[in-house]
Amino acid sequence: MIPGKQLSVALTGKVRMVQCSVIVPTYKEAGNLESLTRRLFKAFKEFRGGALGDIELIFVDDNSRDGSQQHVERLAAQGLNCRIIVRTVERGLSSAVLRGFAEARGEYLICMDADLQHPPEKAPELAQALVEGAEFVLGTRYGSQDSIDKDWPLHRRVISTGARLLALPLSSLNDPMSGFFGIPRHVLQRAVANKVSPIGFKIALEIFVKARVDHSRVVHVPISFGVRTVGESKLSSKVILSYLSHLVELYHFTFPALIPVLVVLILTLLVLLVVKLW
């Protein structure tokens, strides 16, 4: 038995051994789920001759009621090791990711979006980096071979760049806004012990900071970041404000001697700038 492998039970009831669990938070993404699922399992099967073994795919859905549950159940019935958790009370991306991690059975945990902007074909590379000892692995749009679709809107590029600059003092991640990341279970437990927050949208940065990840054991995997073709973007002014509020909390955690009022003042000025650009 490979170290770290755990039992996984798909909706078909078949017991399988898995080393890696992939978590996908969803809300009204029914149109993307089949393509994501098939591409993901195909990628793991073909990666180094299937060296990573079987995986499990867990969708955590915030009660979309758009057919997502039926799509996943149909795919599971076809033998794909996937399942869906439908939440009817809780809401939010970060809490969905944490719920998926808690339900996962693999030793290595990967999170990715459902909109197919994170290429499923890159997920095995993240998993391999974890197997080789990385404490945190990030799918980045800004690596040496990075690529962002030419049709990605200018305002999204501006917001992404600004958000990256604001987070620089907190981590060694070159794309902390990415939701495509992986972490070993034992490292995640360090973040949990430091009261990882389920609030907000940037759970990768939250976990990285709260787990006090060893910066020498961070791996960046360059990805091609595309434009959403199905569904709607979740980015809004409310999300931006939530991110800025989240940053204040993380700065306070990382630099407790920093004067909170000064941080709030700086971020308030940046909010005004972002709103103007928006």
CA neighbor of 240 nearest in space, from 210, 207, 206, 267:
267
Other Cβ atoms within 10 Å of 48 Cβ, number: 9
CA neighbor of 35 nearest in space, from 78, 79, 81, 71:
71
CATH entry, 6-231, from 3.90.550.10, 3.40.50.2300, 3.40.50.300, 3.20.20.120: 3.90.550.10
Q: What mean pLDDT comes out for the span 4-19?
A: 54
Q: Half-sphere exposure (CA, 13 Å, Cβ side) for 157?
A: 12
Q: How far apart are CA 55 and CA 99, in angstroms?
A: 18
Residues found in the chain: 278
From residue 234, alpha-carbon distances to 26, 37, 70, 229 in Å are 11, 21, 23, 14
pLDDT at 224: 82
Q: How far apart are CA 159 and CA 37, in angstroms?
A: 30
Which 8-state DSSP code applies to residue 60? Answer: E
Q: How far apart are CA 140 and CA 161, in angstroms?
A: 13
Gyration radius (Cα) of the chain, Å: 18
Q: How far apart are CA 128 and CA 266, in angstroms?
A: 40
Is the entire prediction scored with pTM above 0.85?
no
All structural domains of the chain with their residue ranges: 6-231
Per residue in 23-73, pLDDT tens?
Answer: 999 999 999 999 999 999 999 999 999 899 999 999 999 999 999 999 999
pLDDT class of 159 with cuts at 50, 70, 90: low
> Is-contact 139 112, C-beta < 8 A?
yes
Structure tokens at 277: 């650009």
Of the two residues 157 and 208, the one the predictor is more confident about is 208
pLDDT at 143: 67
pLDDT at 169: 82
Q: How far apart are CA 117 and CA 108, in angstroms?
A: 22
CA neighbor of 55 nearest in space, from 99, 1, 109, 92:
109
Q: How far apart are CA 242 and CA 25, in angstroms?
A: 18
- H or E element, residue 273: helix 260-277
SS3 16: strand
- H or E element, residue 275: helix 260-277
pLDDT class of 151 with cuts at 50, 70, 90: low
Q: How far apart are CA 113 and CA 119, in angstroms?
A: 9
- pLDDT reading at 115 higher than 70: yes
pLDDT class of 193 with cuts at 50, 70, 90: very high
